[in-house]
Each structure stands twice: as C-alpha cells, then as structure tokens.
A and B are shown apart, each in its own frame.
Chain A
Amino acid sequence: MYVVVAGGGKVGANVARSLLRLGHEVTLIEQRRDRFDRLEDEFEHQVQRGDATELFVLERAGLARPPDIVLALTGDDEDNMVICQLAKEKYGAPKVIARVNDPRNQAHFDLLGISPTVCATSSIMALVEHEVPEHDLIHLLELRKENLEIVEVQIDRDSPSVGKRVEALELPEGSRLISVMRNGQSEIAVGSTMLEAGDQVLAILEPGKEDELRRVLLRT
C-alpha cells in the first residue's frame, strides 16, 4: 500500500514509522526545517520537506499516482482540511484520514465531508464519559464509515422531554431515537412513544450533534 503522511510531528512520524515497519511504502511530508532535519536522519528519502497544502509539494510526494491513502496529521486543522480536499478532489485519492486538533473544528470537517477523523480530545472525553456513570449522555458506539454514532441518554424528572411524544420533540437534523428502555424492558422508539423520567433512550446521530440532542432531551 502507498501512504502519504502529511505532518511529521509526534503523531505523523510515529504513524509513518509504524507503516514502514508493516512493509508499506510511505512518504512523509514535513514543513519545519528543524523537524525535517531530524526526520531525514531516520526516514532518509522517505521524508520530503514542504508545505503539504502546496500542490507541487503534494505532486512531488506522488499524489498523482494517487496514494491508496492520505493521512492529514499536521497540528493545524485548516491545513488538514485543505490537504484532504486536495487529495480527494484534485488527485482522486480513494481514502483520507484527518487529525482534528481542536474538537470545536469537528463540525467543519463534517461539513466538508472529510471522514474519518481522529480527535484525541474527543476520544479521551468519550472514555471519561464511560468512566463517569452519572454523565447524562454516553457514547456507546462510533460508526466511523457511516459517520454516525449511537449514544445513550438518561431522562430524569427535570428533562424537558418528560411527558412528550417522540414526534413532538424537535430533534436536531441528523438524529433519531432508536429505543426506550423502561423498567428493564426495551421498546423501539416510534412517533407515539411517550418519554418518562427514568427512561434510558438510545439515539443515533451524526457526530457533533450531541449538544443539540442534549438540549432537546435533557435541558430547557
């Protein structure tokens, strides 16, 4: 497999190293001179210096072949978005993976159809949510390929959704309720399902819609 890795920081360099160890063909691109010099000692001709959002840099790295996968792993989210757009739309790379540095930018990646994405902060938060049972919205499953996730929401007495039918809820676009668990019994959520305090609701939604869903189900 031919992989182009943009960004030679801790993340990019370690990914490149791991891929090489697995026997893949890799080109790593790093812009900063100091970093590049250090990387060159290790990666030799497999690292190139340049701005991976410049077309000639990408072409020198073999984007026109195109690579089987392009990894946009720089520390700059805007750069990562542009790298992915160029890789997919200009060069026809079949797959891209982008690093999200600031989770607030996740919505921009989603808007531009860049998927899958990896965000360390979000991953840590998802783990924290698992570890903290009283948390009101728990991530159960991430469907990366579909760009959807399944979450569980605990409805309490003060939730604005208590006593409302599912069809009367103004759920955010890109979200649906799947099921309602009450007294140990689970039922598929339909339009006429009435929510009650104590319900555990499963919902499927596009990543980034959690806060909107939380507002509708849990807070006024």
Chain B
Amino acid sequence: MKALIIGCGRVGSSIAIQLQREGWDVVVVDENEDALSRLGDHWPGAFLVGQGIDTDLLREAGIEEADAVIAATDGDNTNIVIGEVAQKRFDVKCVVVRVLDPARAEFYAARGMRTVCPTKTAIDKMIETVRTCEFPGARATA
C-alpha cells in the first residue's frame, strides 16, 4: 500500500513513521526541506520538497498510484484543496484531510471529504474529562 503525506510537521511526520513501520510505502512532501529531520536519521521512504497543491509535484510523488493521501499541512484551506484535487482529479479512494476549524471541517465532511478536526476532538475530550472530575463540596444540580 502506498501513502502520500503532505505536510511533515508533528502530525504528518508521526503518521509517516507509523505507516512506514506498518509496511506502507510512504512518500512525504513538505515545503521546507528541514522538515525531513522530523522523520529521524534514516528515513527509508521518499521525501520531496515543494507545494502540496503543485500538480506536477503530486505526480512526481506518485499520487496516481497512491492508495491514500493525507493532507496535514498547517493550512486548513491548503489541506482542503489538496483533498479536493486528490479525490476529484486523481481519484484517490482514501483521502484524509486535517482541518483545524470545526465549521469548515463539518462543511467539507458533509460534502463527502474525510476531515479530521483536532480542535473538535480536543473540545469534546476536554469537556468529557472535566465531567469525570469529582467535586466533593458540590451540591447536586437539579
């Protein structure tokens, strides 16, 4: 299985390392060549420097044979456009897009994009965690 990961920050690099360990053929793209260092000293996969919405670069990175494309740059709209291009132009079946803004994540999810919204996850999780706290002095609320 081949994965193309756009954006090699904390999230993208961790996904790349994890999938590579699981036996995926992984290609990582980032606009900054220093990002390669996040993949460790001996990254066995491919790493390309460039813009994730550059069609020529996506082709060079092998998007036409990719089973999965993961858009994890620091720009919501860049990730969304990468997602649209991967789905609509290159017909990639598994496209996963990080969108920090919950409102946009929801809008594009409703249009059939697999969006992951870390902000929404954090909100839900933190509220849930607050609810698990015990408040000995508190009176029961009606």
Interface residues of A (CB under 8 A from B): 53-56, 76-79, 81-82, 86, 89-90, 104-105, 107-108, 111-112
From known contacts A53-B76, A90-B107, infer whether A78 and B53 are also in contact, taking CB-CB under 8 Å: yes
| A56 x B85 contact (CB < 8 A) | no
**For the complex, what is the distance from the CA of A112 to the CA of B103, rounded to whole Å?**
20
Residues of B within 8 A of A111 (CB): 84-85, 88-89
Q: How far is the CB of A113 from chain B (nearest CB, A)?
A: 10
Q: In which size bucket is the chain B interface?
A: 10 to 19
| B103 x A54 contact (CB < 8 A) | yes
Residues of A within 8 A of B85 (CB): 108, 111
Complex A-B: 13 CB contacts under 8 Å: A54-B101, A78-B78, A82-B76, A82-B77, A82-B80, A86-B104, A90-B107, A104-B55, A108-B55, A111-B84, A111-B88, A111-B89, A112-B84
Which residue of chain A has the shortest Cβ distance to B101 in the bound complex?
A: A54
Residues of A within 8 A of B84 (CB): 81, 108, 111-112
What are the interface flags for B70-84 relative to A under an 8 Å C-beta threshold, 1 for contact and 0 otherwise? 000001111011001
Residues of A within 8 A of B80 (CB): 78, 81-82
Which residue of chain A has the shortest Cβ distance to B88 in the bound complex?
A: A111
Residues of A within 8 A of B111 (CB): 89
**For the complex, what is the distance from the CA of A189 to the CA of B75, rounded to whole Å?**
47
B54 interface hit (Cβ, 8 Å) = yes
Residues of B within 8 A of A86 (CB): 104, 107
**For the complex, what is the distance from the CA of A105 to the CA of B55, rounded to whole Å?**
9
Q: How far is the CB of A74 from chain B (nearest CB, A)?
A: 10
Residues of A within 8 A of B88 (CB): 111-112
From known contacts A89-B111, A107-B55, A108-B53, infer whether A53 and B77 are also in contact, taking CB-CB under 8 Å: yes
